[in-house]
Amino acid sequence: MLEGKVAIVTGGTRGIGLAIVKKYLQEGACVVLFGSKEETVTKAIETLKNENGEYKVSGYAPDLTSEESVREIFERVEKQFGHIDILANNAGISSKTHILAYTEEEYENVVNVNIKSVFICSKVAVPYLKESKGVIINTSSMVSTYGQSSGVMYPASKFAVNGMTKSLARELAPFGIRVNAVAPGIIETDMVKQLPKEMIEPLIKTIPIGRIGTPEDIANAYLFLASDLASYITGAILPVDGASRS
């Protein structure tokens, strides 16, 4: 479905991001994954290459909050592959801190990683995506619509991602660039896997479809939105949550 496409995936070294990278590779794309550290980038690439030595994957660890750093890497990718077709803005951090314990440092960290990085990567990608009539896909969350009981800046940051998604969809449509977001529900990440059974079972009972989602569930949505099957879809926030909205 993505044969000949070149994709950049931020936060691509583990969990949902790594699943997106793997799905894109399986569907024929060349993928450049971004991670927060050189060692995690190297480890992720080794894992993928061990799985399939034919995968066309490379990676970098730019500072996603620095336009100069991001621009330098995009230029490298374009020189290497000749074009960029897909930007998956998946990098993000969560927060569960009570409002009275929230520090300015944590506030700024969540805003920088979850909002500023999406803005910078999207801005830098636009000239390349104009040439390829490409796609931007952002990772939102079900809490972007319904909030959560603590860690206020996490849902607030995802509200912002939704706003950027819908606004950029309108702004960039004349250039042939589609912009969408995927809003995951409760997903079986490493963190969730470590939760005790007595915590997991009540969570599952809140999900009408009867199970926790997998990273591959999210990757499938990313594949669909990146493909030509979604050629008339832009400005959408696609929930992938088993109807666990509340």
Residue 201 lies in a domain: no
Candidate list 55, 60, 128, 154, residue with the active-site label: 154
Query: CA nearest 142: which of 12, 18, 242?
Result: 242
Q: For the chain, what is the domain count? A: 1
- What is the spatial distance between Cα 198 and Cα 16, in angstroms, rounded to a whole number? 24
Tokens for 235?
Answer: 């400005």
Residue 26 lies in a domain: yes
Q: State the residue range of the domain holding 143.
A: 6-189+216-239
User: The pTM is what?
Assistant: 0.94
pLDDT digits (tens, 9 = 90+) for 109-150: 999 999 999 999 999 999 999 999 999 999 999 989 888 888
C-alpha 209 chain-centroid distance: 23
Q: What is the mean pLDDT of residues 214-241?
A: 97
pLDDT digits (tens, 9 = 90+) for 151-208: 999 999 999 999 999 999 999 999 999 999 999 998 988 767 766 778 778 888 889 9
CATH number at residue 43: 3.40.50.720
Per the annotation, the verdict on 154 as an active-site residue is yes
- What is the spatial distance between Cα 84 and Cα 88, in angstroms, rounded to a whole number? 11
Residue 206 lies in a domain: no
Which three-class secondary structure state does DSSP give residue 159?
Answer: helix
Residue 209 lies in a domain: no
- Left (φ > 0), alpha (ψ -120 to 50) or beta: where does 6 sit? beta
pLDDT of residue 197: 78
Which three-class secondary structure state does DSSP give residue 31?
Answer: strand
Residue 1 lies in a domain: no
Residue 10 lies in a domain: yes
Residue 221 lies in a domain: yes
Residue 199 lies in a domain: no
